[in-house]
């Protein structure tokens, strides 16, 4: 069966809709059938963008997924934000800038993606303890490809080394890895097979690398869409018939 590929982190400048359209068209040309674009946390603004983006994606035969990037400073702020936004977005990613936030995000079932934005190894907190907490929740480790393309020399060497360690830990604790582009322009977008090839640089084998751009992101979307559907009751339980249908 042919794989369906997803890029869960396209980052066009949303105030420039022409560039956004070009990036979505490019992603479609490159073979992605599902894309997620982070929208601002303001509810009214987010709704406006989500509607616009859904329309553009439909024109390009791509499935659009709404995503929110949370950047809390404290675990308490993270909990407040999750309470406020979880049911409004299909994907919630937490940008972990501190260890306390990373630990709280790893514990919480409402978090889909753990993202460590800093290329500095000391500010990436995906260690064994973090992976163990994550394996008990349903979160995945998100690895962005953009820094691998933009960094040069020793900085890229250090990043590759850190990513190799993180990928090995994730594999040991069975934490799914999602590889996304983080692209801010069309020229930073790569084909799914090229993303998988870049993922092999941090020692993922080819099937796992391909899963990181297809199976793993699709599993998150499927799970969350089911949860957000009005027929969802609890995991494994959904409403089949109601009212007159029951007679």
- Residue among 36 and 148 whose Cβ is closer to other proteins: 148
- Residue among 65 and 145 whose Cβ is closer to other proteins: 145
User: How far, in Å, CA of 31 to CA of 50, rounded?
Assistant: 22
Give the distance from CA 236 to its chain's centroid. 23
Of 123, 146, 120, the C-alpha closest to 11 is 146
- Residue among 173 and 193 whose Cβ is closer to other proteins: 193
Of 84, 69, 78, 80, the C-alpha closest to 99 is 78
Residue 193 CB, nearest approach to other proteins (Å): 7
Residue 162 CB, nearest approach to other proteins (Å): 16
User: How far, in Å, CA of 26 to CA of 20, rounded?
Assistant: 10
- Residue among 192 and 217 whose Cβ is closer to other proteins: 192
- Residue among 8 and 30 whose Cβ is closer to other proteins: 30
User: How far, in Å, CA of 47 to CA of 39, rounded?
Assistant: 9
Residue 149 CB, nearest approach to other proteins (Å): 5
Residue 178 CB, nearest approach to other proteins (Å): 18
Residue 232 CB, nearest approach to other proteins (Å): 37
Q: 82 exposed, middle or buried (CB, 10 Å; 0-12, 13-18, 19+)?
A: buried
DSSP output for 170-234:
HHHTT--EEEE---SSGGG---HHHHHHHHGGGT--HHHHHHHHTHHHHHHHHHHHHHHSTTEEE
Per-residue HEC secondary structure of 37-74 comes to EECCCCHHHHHHHHHHHHHHHHHCCCEEEEEEEECCCC
- Residue among 102 and 195 whose Cβ is closer to other proteins: 195
Residue 124 CB, nearest approach to other proteins (Å): 21
Residue 196 CB, nearest approach to other proteins (Å): 8
- Residue among 86 and 190 whose Cβ is closer to other proteins: 190
Contact residues toward other proteins (CB under 8 A) are: 29-30, 148-150, 186-191, 193-195, 197-198, 200-201, 206
Q: 193 exposed, middle or buried (CB, 10 Å; 0-12, 13-18, 19+)?
A: middle
């Amino acid at each position: 069966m042919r794989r369906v590929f997803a890029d869960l982190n396209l980052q066009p400048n949303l105030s420039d809709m022409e560039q956004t359209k070009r990036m979505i068209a490019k992603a479609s040309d490159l073979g992605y059938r599902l894309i997620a674009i982070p929208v601002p946390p303001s509810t009214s603004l987010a709704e406006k963008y989500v509607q616009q983006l859904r329309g553009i994606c439909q024109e390009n035969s791509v499935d659009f997924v709404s995503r929110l990037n949370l950047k809390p400073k404290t675990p308490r702020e993270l909990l407040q934000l999750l309470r406020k936004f979880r049911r409004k977005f299909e994907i919630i990613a937490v940008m972990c800038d501190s260890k306390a936030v990373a630990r709280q995000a790893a514990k919480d079932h409402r978090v889909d993606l753990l993202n460590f934005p800093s290329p500095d190894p000391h500010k990436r907190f995906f260690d064994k303890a973090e992976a163990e907490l994550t394996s008990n929740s349903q979160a995945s480790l998100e690895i962005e490809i953009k820094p691998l393309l933009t960094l040069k020399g020793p900085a890229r060497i250090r990043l590759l080394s850190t990513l190799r360690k993180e990928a090995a830990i994730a594999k040991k604790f069975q934490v799914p890895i999602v590889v996304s582009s983080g692209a801010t322009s069309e020229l930073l977008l790569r084909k799914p097979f090229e993303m998988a090839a870049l993922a092999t640089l941090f020692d993922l084998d080819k099937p796992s690398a391909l899963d990181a751009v297809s199976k793993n992101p699709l599993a998150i979307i499927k799970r969350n869409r089911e949860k957000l559907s009005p027929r969802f009751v609890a995991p494994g339980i959904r409403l089949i018939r109601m009212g007159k249908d029951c007679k």
